[in-house]
Amino acid sequence: MKKNLLSLLTAGLLATAATAQDNSLLYEVTGNGLTQPSYLYGTFHLVCPNDLVITDATKKAVADTRQLYLELDFDDPAMMKAMMKAMMMTDGKTVKDYLSANDYSILENYFSEKLKMNPAQTSQMTPIALTSMLYMTLLPCQMASYDLTFAQMAIKDKKDILGLESLEAQLAALNAIPVEEQLKGVVDTVKKPDEAKAEFAKFIETYKSQDLEKLGAMMKTSQFSGGDFAKYEDDLLGKRNVNWIPVIEKAAKDKPTFFAFGAGHLIGDKGVIQLLRAKGYTVRGVK
């Protein structure tokens, strides 16, 4: 179960830093009729194993809850089939149709050298798929995932795993960004892989420091984002956060729940923390 989606590294981490938050990745949600606490956790979807740290406080929060909500429901048997379908172009066009001959040649050569992909594979893949493959070349390790780690913990404890949104909804948000702009981010990264690796390493270090506002600011100024993020921020984050709130409320009132999703969804005026506080819940960082 690998989340091969652009949101793993972009949409899940980019956010407005308009409202100060506690320096924390773990938040307790209480009040407004909840009989037991639920918890929010901001993830960085793909990291090296040494950078994946589950603290004692987080382990306790998972243990004290009775179900897990991720962005997507990985218990859905149709999920993997739908993900595979989302990796391939289906509109009759190929990557070649969106890039100059020179840029496509650079992209094709990079994927051939780094991942042994043939040109036919590269040309047929969506920007989302290419991005997920590209991140495999930026991490100096076999990738690990907070989301899958939490899922494994839930499975071990025989807890339900559910999703905050459908794959279709997530893809619709990502595809609010034109294909040309998505591919620009891929090509820019391929052209400057060493710089991209250095920037990505800084993102992870900032995430580990739990300074979410700084992380959001860094991502908004990334030279590898592929376009004007501010133009699509509401589609990628704000609207999704608003849609998640009723799901979070219902789940938390039904039973204590551990919610894990991209860290950028936590912060800002339209972040999950502020939206829950506006509903009357107490949301506090857990150190």
Structural domain for 75, as ranges: 6-81+139-176+192-285
Is 41 inside a domain boundary? yes
Is 101 inside a domain boundary? no
Judge whether residue 68 has pLDDT over 50: yes
Q: What is the pLDDT of residue 231?
A: 75
Is 109 inside a domain boundary? no
With a pLDDT cut of 70, the percent of the chain lying above it is 90
Is 264 inside a domain boundary? yes
Q: What is the pLDDT of residue 11?
A: 40
Q: How many domains does the chain have?
A: 1
Q: What is the DSSP string of the chain?
A: ----SGGGTTTTT-----S---S-SEEEEE-TT-SS-EEEEEE-SSB-GGG----HHHHHHHHT-SEEEESS-TT-TTHHHHHHHHTB--SS--GGGGS-HHHHHHHHHHHHHHH---HHHHHHB-HHHHHHHHHHHHSSS--B-HHHHHHHHHHHTT-EEEESS-HHHHHHHHTTS-HHHHHHHHHHHHHSHHHHHHHHHHHHHHHHTT-HHHHHHHHHT-TTS-S-HHHHHIIIIIHHHHHHHHHHHHHHHHS-EEEEEEGGGGSSTTSHHHHHHHTT-EEEE--
pLDDT in tens, 121-153: 899 999 989 988 888 888 888 889 999 999 999
Judge whether residue 13 has pLDDT over 70: no
Q: What is the pLDDT of residue 225?
A: 63
Is 86 inside a domain boundary? no
Is 268 inside a domain boundary? yes
Q: What is the pLDDT of residue 230?
A: 66
Is 93 inside a domain boundary? no
Is 124 inside a domain boundary? no
Judge whether residue 15 has pLDDT over 60: no
